[in-house]
Amino acid sequence: DQGGLRTLQKKWTSFLKARLICTIPDKNLIFNVINDVFILKSPTLKEPVIYGVFTPQLNNVGLSAVCAYNLSTVEEVFSKGKYMQSATVEQYHTKWVRYNGEIPSPRPGAVSL
């Protein structure tokens, strides 16, 4: 995520995102830039499958990878995953740290009817 114009900086917003891990561990390659995504839905599949085309952050190796994720796995991250919050490191710098406070109800990202 390369971010945006920060027009809502220091304003209350609701925003959720999760990292999709696409790696070749034995080669120590991490593909963390999403170039394209396709969701395959089929009556022959138990659930939809998300396919992503990834490249490394510094694509100086000329490689890409295709990784697949079950939709239920992605949904589980949003329904049970840990939250992060920004913390000031220096006067003008922030970093993301794990949020240890109480999770509000309804959980952010959940639909409440």
**Residue 99 confidence (pLDDT):** 84
Taking the C-alpha atoms of residue 32 and residue 51, their distance in angstroms, rounded to an integer, is 14
Q: E strands, 1-113, where?
A: 23-24, 29-30, 33-40, 49-55, 65-70, 84-90, 93-98
Evaluate if pTM is beyond 0.85.
Answer: no
Q: What are the pLDDT digits (tens) for 42-91? A: 999 999 999 999 999 887 778 999 999 999 998 888 888 788 888 888 87
Residue 113's pLDDT band, with cuts at 50, 70 and 90, is very low
Taking the C-alpha atoms of residue 107 and residue 112, their distance in angstroms, rounded to an integer, is 9
Taking the C-alpha atoms of residue 108 and residue 99, their distance in angstroms, rounded to an integer, is 13
